[in-house]
Amino acid sequence: MADIPIDTNVILRYLVETPETIDPKFRGVYSFFRKIETGRLTVWLPGVVLFQAYFVLASFYRVPRPETAEKLGRILTFRGIVMADKAIVAECLRRLEQKSLDLVDAYLLAWTEKKGAPGVYSFDSDLATDTVDILPVK
């Protein structure tokens, strides 16, 4: 298991910069991610880092949310990315590519379905799907 985490700013540099315009001090990001993609280097990707990258890309950089989810989902396929609940996070990102959902709602739906939970305790009826029920809070 990878025991060195990756920070949000490294992911952002990789996704928003171009080799032609990147500041020289950040140029190593491309070879770094090639190593991760091929599995020559493994890194720990905390879920909170991925979600922060999603938020920054969508809000600050104004990358459309489906494109943001697609880019981050592609990184999850890199052989050197180690992450807890990787399948759940990948499903969350897939949902964000396909539907206009809030990040947390997409995660809750993915988690609930992957874990086989009977539903979600929520007041948000938009969370109800064919396979996820909204459970009463009482």
The residue whose two tokens read 């997409």 is 106
Residue 39 lies in a domain: yes
pTM of the model as a whole = 0.88
Apex 43 CA angle, 38 and 45, nearest 5: 115
Residue 50 resides in a domain: yes
In a domain? residue 91: yes
What are 112-121's pLDDT values in tens digits? 999 988 889 9
CA angle 105, 49, 80 (to 5 degrees): 110
What is the pLDDT, as a whole number, of residue 37?
97
Q: Which of 114, 117, 119 is nearest to 132 (CA)?
A: 119
H-type helices in the chain, by residue range?
8-16, 28-38, 47-59, 65-76, 86-98, 103-115
Q: Where do we find the tokens 């890194």? A: 43
Tell me, what's the pLDDT at 128? 78
Q: Is residue 2 part of a domain?
A: no
43 falls within a domain = yes
pLDDT of residue 123: 87
Residue 2: pLDDT band by 50, 70, 90 thresholds?
Answer: low
The rounded mean pLDDT for the chain is 92
Report if residue 16 sits inside a domain. Answer: yes
- pLDDT 10s digits, 32-72: 999 999 999 999 999 999 999 999 999 999 999 999 999 99
Query: How many domains in the chain?
Result: 1
Classify 23 as helix, strand or coil: coil
User: Which among 131, 132, 129, 58 has a CA at the least distance from the CA of 96?
Assistant: 58
Q: Which domain holds residue 61?
A: 8-135
Greater pLDDT, 83 or 132: 83
Which residues, in sequence order, are CB contacts of 60 under 8 Å at separation 6+?
A: none
Torsion of CA 38, 44, 47, 52, to 10 degrees: -80
